[in-house]
Amino acid sequence: MSITFEAEITPGMSAREVVDLARIAEQAGFDRLGISDVVFWPDVAALMALVANNTSTIAIGPMVTNPYSRHPAVLAGVMATVNDISQGRAFLGIGVGAGLEQLGMNYPRPVAALREAITAITALLRGETVSLQGSTITIDAARMVGPVAPVPVSIGSRSAQVMRLAGELADVALVGGRLIDATVAAQYRGWLAEGAARVGRDPATIEVAPRLTLCISPDGQLARNSLKRYVGHYAMLIRPVDLVEREGGAWLARVEAALARSTGWYFDHDLVRRFAVAGTPDECAELADAVLDLGFDSASMNLAAPRRESMYAGLRETLEHSAEFLTLVRERATARGR
């Protein structure tokens, strides 16, 4: 079975630069391209349309959008438009969302909101007339105008409840934690299977993709050093037991203080490797192999930038060396009979 690779670009740059990176991602051999949907950043819908019009093979979607900042009917219109422009290459990446606190928004009834949003969007994209009086949204006997077609649905989360929902509704389930080991993989698969069982689905029909942070540079040490702050963020977010207990909790307290100051990192390269795929193409291939060997046939790579003069320059460096990385991983998987 071939391995599917997804890349995600966080668009902290000009639209022209995002399109350039998308072209490089396609040339490198990525199968799907997600564009981050982040408030106060360049608009994901406009960027997806531009990328769709300037690429030819790579699938395109938001990574991930949410049912709060955009009404599901609006999302259905966005996805119909991107799918039309790309001639059938769109996918919907959706989750609870993040960063909405700056808008004074919280995340009420997250599982219900996602369920109702996905139900509405998929029905609208099938061309159906939708009447939905839900607990989070209302649609009154409405249907889309213009060309529509179903698109794959990708659900991403670290939540057990949302992963069970993915087992019910998703084509692709994104394993949200950046720390992937055999225990975590089994836990997520268990949640997914529980959700699939609710509706009589075979969980084997759902693509399960671990979310990995990818930072590649010919200077492997630079790539690893560039992710220390990122690793600190996820160490605080995921809080693995061994890190919580290190030095009786004092180590994690220093990390939290360092994050607040944005200086004084308390990390080593072994810890970076636990939370990220960072280094030279060959080093990154070895790290990715270890995750894929847990039984995955796809991976979703959140692209990270080696420290350069701009985010664009750093992400371009990662992407320009991704072709070698992807080739190595695919060749090794074939050699092992995967």
Got the DSSP string for 76-140?
A: HHHHHHHHHHHTS-B-EEE-S-S-GGGGT----SHHHHHHHHHHHHHHHHTT--EEEE-SS-EEE
Determine the average pLDDT of the residues in 293-322.
95
**Are residue 295 and residue 209 in the same domain, yes or no?**
yes
Token pair recorded at residue 186: 């089994």
Mean of pLDDT over the chain: 90
Q: How many domains is the chain partitioned into structurally?
A: 2
CATH of the domain at 35: 3.20.20.30
**Are residue 156 and residue 294 in the same domain, yes or no?**
yes
Query: Is residue 221, in this structure, part of any structural domain at all?
Result: no
Query: Is residue 223, in this structure, part of any structural domain at all?
Result: no
d(CA 50, CA 75): 17
Query: Is residue 260, in this structure, part of any structural domain at all?
Result: yes
**Are residue 116 and residue 255 in the same domain, yes or no?**
no
**Are residue 36 and residue 12 in the same domain, yes or no?**
yes
**Are residue 18 and residue 74 in the same domain, yes or no?**
yes
**Is the pLDDT at 28 greater than 60, yes or no?**
yes
Determine the average pLDDT of the residues in 268-290.
80
Query: Is residue 113, in this structure, part of any structural domain at all?
Result: yes
The pLDDT assigned to 257 comes to: 72
**Are residue 255 and residue 117 in the same domain, yes or no?**
no
d(CA 244, CA 253): 9
**Are residue 90 and residue 233 in the same domain, yes or no?**
no
**Are residue 28 and residue 88 in the same domain, yes or no?**
yes
Q: What percent of the chain has pLDDT over 90?
A: 72
**Are residue 146 and residue 269 in the same domain, yes or no?**
no
d(CA 304, CA 306): 7
Query: Is residue 142, in this structure, part of any structural domain at all?
Result: yes
The pLDDT assigned to 264 comes to: 39
The residue whose two tokens read 């219900």 is 112
Q: What is the pLDDT of residues 172-214, one digit of tens each?
A: 999 876 567 888 899 999 999 999 999 999 999 999 999 998 9
Domain that holds residue 299: 4-215+277-335
**Is the pLDDT at 267 greater than 80, yes or no?**
no
Token pair recorded at residue 334: 């074939």
**Are residue 190 and residue 286 in the same domain, yes or no?**
yes
Query: Is residue 220, in this structure, part of any structural domain at all?
Result: no
**Are residue 142 and residue 211 in the same domain, yes or no?**
yes
**Is the pLDDT at 269 greater than 50, yes or no?**
no
The pLDDT assigned to 338 comes to: 65
Query: Is residue 97, in this structure, part of any structural domain at all?
Result: yes
**Are residue 160 and residue 253 in the same domain, yes or no?**
no
d(CA 162, CA 191): 9
Q: What is the pLDDT of residues 324-333, one digit of tens each?
A: 999 999 999 8
**Pick from 254, 275, 296: which residue ends a domain?**
275
pTM of the model: 0.89
